[in-house]
């Protein structure tokens, strides 16, 4: 997954939408930096991602997952809610509104 590939796919497939999810984990299982992170080490949106969001403002939604363990399960599941929603504060208000709310309402036909 690269910015160039996503741009090509978004241009080719007008019915393609992307969900954004940012997890706290910065390294993969082998200790390498996570590829294609939307944010840098300071949690700032990388410029190439910001450009992609602005180029396709109607094609992105927030896509966080939260795992709630069963009673007695002490497994720590990766959390993404706060990290993902935090990026909206870095976007212009109109773009943040689309990605954080309006696009999901339109795409999923919420009323």
Name the one residue in this structure whose structure tokens are 């954004």: 20
Name the one residue in this structure whose structure tokens are 């741009």: 7
Q: What is the pLDDT of residues 49-83, one digit of tens each?
A: 999 999 999 999 998 666 677 888 877 665 666 77
Reported pTM: 0.81
Output the CA angle 82-87-101, nearest 5 degrees.
85
Check pLDDT > 90 for residue 13.
yes
Q: What is the mean pLDDT of residues 33-47?
A: 87
Looking at per-residue pLDDT, the higher value among 59 and 84 belongs to 59
Helix, strand, coil percentages (3-state) for the chain, rounded to 5, are: 40, 10, 50
Report residue 36's pLDDT band, with 50, 70 and 90 as the boundaries. Answer: confident
């Amino acid at each position: 997954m690269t910015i160039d590939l996503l741009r090509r796919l978004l241009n080719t497939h007008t019915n393609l939408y992307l969900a954004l999810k940012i997890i706290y984990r910065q390294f993969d299982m082998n200790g390498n930096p996570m590829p294609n992170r939307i944010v840098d080490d300071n949690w700032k949106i990388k410029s190439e991602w910001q450009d992609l969001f602005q180029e396709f403002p109607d094609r992105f939604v927030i896509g966080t997952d939260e795992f709630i363990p069963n009673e007695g399960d002490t497994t720590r599941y990766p959390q993404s809610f706060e990290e993902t929603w935090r990026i909206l504060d870095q976007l212009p208000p109109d773009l943040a509104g689309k990605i954080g709310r309006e696009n999901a309402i339109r795409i999923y036909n919420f009323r």
